[in-house]
Each structure stands twice: as structure tokens, then as C-alpha cells.
Amino acid sequence: MSPTSRMTGFARQLGTIAITLLGLLVLTFAIGRLMPADPVRAIVGEEATQDTYMQVYTQLGFDRPLPVQFLMYLRDVLTGDFGTSIRTGQPVINDIMAVMPATLELATLAILIGAGLGIPLGVLAAVKKDRWPDHVIRIFSLMGHSMPIFWTGMIALLIFYAALGWVGGGGRISDYYIGLVPPVTNFIVIDAMLAREWDVVRSALNHLILPASLLGYSSSAYITRMTRSFMLDQINQEYITTARVKGLSRRQTIWRHAFLNIRVQLVTIVALAYGALLEGAVLIETVFSWPGFGQYLTSNLMTGDMNAVMTCVLLVGVIFIALNLLSDVLYRVFDPRTR
């Protein structure tokens, strides 16, 4: 590909990203204006006079035409001003920076479990198609996909925490250790390691393993089904038959040929599953009292804190855009034909 073609492709990709972000901003702004909650009333309170209400209404710019309000919102976003949370009294971006590491910890371990479990099971199910391992794996996946995560969370807490005492309960660490480790990264496991507080590390992992495993199981169900489908498509290709005729073992044809050809597709599946975990862990965070992004979004929805809600919605969209960009980069690493 010539340098001119590369520059044209790069400019086209930047243009696509810019248009996508603009559309996301428009959608976020529309959500903020269409929500039934009254942000002015949430600020001034129910007992405020009409004069006070109108003063705040004017200060926030709600008396101006919608296009002007959108331009004001766009200006604030581009300058990094996402407003102040009504519920906490802190800048919204500071609140999110404080709660996001908890969700990242949970989602990252969950996707490692989900991909580490789902990909091998999907390959095995494809190789053993219509035999008992395939049936068992498909039932296992169906259960993970069908059972409500809040229900499995409560049942798991009753069994593994209340009855057996194998794991910690709600929260990120035991109450005894709260405040013992200074927040450096806000990732409790990393901060505890930096402080060499190994008891806190064990407590954090003890609380993390159960919700992460449940999310990982739910994610693995989707990854397993997609991996099985991709592998079946490759196994039925003529090049697999040719490889076997040439004397390659079944293991070599599966892992060195068929699996290598689905890596690009798996990158997309795992990236989207990770994004879904980051923005969709609301129920599991609620069940386990996990102070993360999902619980923060839910709390602000309940109180009508629109600055926080709009920023959370915008962040979710940006996360998915970033994960898609990462997928594009990994495409070029795994498949030279896409470079």
C-alpha cells in the first residue's frame, strides 16, 4: 500500500471516530434533556421558591434554545468540565476516577476467567460436535447465559459466604482493613501490594473472586458459543481436510490452522464482552455492595443527578469506541492481510 493510501485510510478512520463521538455527544445530550428527572429541582430542593428555581434554571442555561445548550455542553466536555455531582458535591470526573478502578478490577478478572474458560470449551465443543462433551458444554453455556446474574449472585453468597465461609461477603475488603492502605492507584489489590499489607491483599482477593467468577461464567457462556461457531466454520473448510490428508495430526490442524484463523474474530468478541462487563456489572455490584461504576450510575439515576448520569453514559460509549479501535489494532497484529 502506498503512503498516500495509508494517509487516506488514516484520515478516513479519524473522520469516522470524530463523527461517532459527535453522535455520542448528541445522544448523551438528548438523554439529559428527555429524562423525566428535573435537574434544577434536584439542586434547589422541593421546598425552594419559584424565584430561586428560575434563578438556577437561568444559570444552567436551560432558558436558551436547545442548539445553544448543546454548544455549551460540547464546550464543557471538550474542556474537561463534566459538572458537579448533586449527590456527592464533588466534580463528576473525580467521582468516576474514584469508583472506576473497582469496576476495572472486577471486569478484568472476570474477562480473564471468561476467555480462559470459554475459548477452550468452545474449541472442544466444536471438535466433539454432537457428542457428549459438546452437549455438556452447550448446556453449561445455556445455563450461564440464561440465569439472571442477580439471582446467581444471591445464591452464591448464601452458599459460599454464609454457609461455607469460603469467600468474603460484600464490599472490596473486610471492614477491619478499611483505611489501612493509602490509596495510590485506587486498585485495592495493587495498593495493598505496594504497602506490603499482605493480609489486605488476601482479604481483597477473597472478596473479589466470587463476583468476578460469576461475571466470568456469564461472559464465558457467550464466548464459548461464539468460539464453537467460528471453529465449526473453519473445521468444515477444505484446507483442514487437505492438512489431514498431508499427514498433520488432528491437534495440529485444530490449533495451528483452524484456531489461528479465528483469532481476529475472537479479538472482537472478547473486546465487546469486556466492554459489556465494564458497563453492565450494575446488578452484581448491587448484590455484592461493590463500590464501582455500576453502583455509582444506579445511585445517581435514583437521585436524578443528571450531570453524573450523562457523564456515565458518555463514558460507556467512549469505552466501546476505544475497545473497537483496540480491536482494529490487534487485527493488524494477528492478520497481516489487514495492514
Task: Please compute, for residue 28, the number of CA atoms within 13 A of its CA located in the half-sphere on the CB side.
Answer: 25
What pLDDT is attached to residue 119? 92
Asked whether residue 130 falls in the same domain as residue 62, the answer is: no
What pLDDT is attached to residue 130? 83
Asked whether residue 189 falls in the same domain as residue 302, the answer is: yes
Distance CA 294, CA 211 (A): 13
What is the DSSP secondary-structure string of 122-151?
A: HHHHHHTTTSHHHHHHHHHHHHHHHS-HHH
CATH number for the domain harbouring residue 280: 1.10.3720.10
- pLDDT, tens digit, for every residue of 28-80? 888 777 776 667 776 766 777 777 778 877 877 777 887 888 888 888 888 88
pTM assigned to the model: 0.81
From 51, 78, 105, the end of a domain falls on 78
Three-state DSSP class for residue 197: coil
CA distances from 214 to 164, 252, 269, 323 (A): 17, 33, 19, 23
CB 122 within 8 A of CB 223: yes
Amino acid at position 17, single letter? I
Distance CA 64, CA 73 (A): 12
Which structural domain range is residue 67 located in? Answer: 16-78
Asked whether residue 179 falls in the same domain as residue 269, the answer is: yes
First to last CA, the chain: 9
From 24, 51, 78, the end of a domain falls on 78
Per-residue exposure over 197-222, b if at least 16 CB sit within 10 Å of its own CB, e if not:
beebbbbbbbbbbbbbbbbbbbbbbb
What pLDDT is attached to residue 111? 92
Nearest to 202 by CA among 174, 162, 164: 174
Asked whether residue 104 falls in the same domain as residue 56, the answer is: no
Asked whether residue 65 falls in the same domain as residue 101, the answer is: no
- Is residue 22 assigned to a domain? yes
What pLDDT is attached to residue 37? 67
Asked whether residue 32 falls in the same domain as residue 111, the answer is: no
Task: Domain count for the chain, please give it.
Answer: 2
Asked whether residue 73 falls in the same domain as residue 100, the answer is: no
Nearest to 308 by CA among 32, 14, 67: 32
Residue that has been written with the C-alpha cell 448523551 in this structure: 28
Asked whether residue 31 falls in the same domain as residue 157, the answer is: no
What pLDDT is attached to residue 2? 58
CB 215 within 8 A of CB 118: no
Q: What stretches in the chain show pLDDT beneath 50? A: none
Asked whether residue 250 falls in the same domain as residue 150, the answer is: yes
Asked whether residue 21 falls in the same domain as residue 161, the answer is: no
Three-state DSSP class for residue 3: helix
What pLDDT is attached to residue 56? 75
Asked whether residue 136 falls in the same domain as residue 210, the answer is: yes
What pLDDT is attached to residue 338? 57
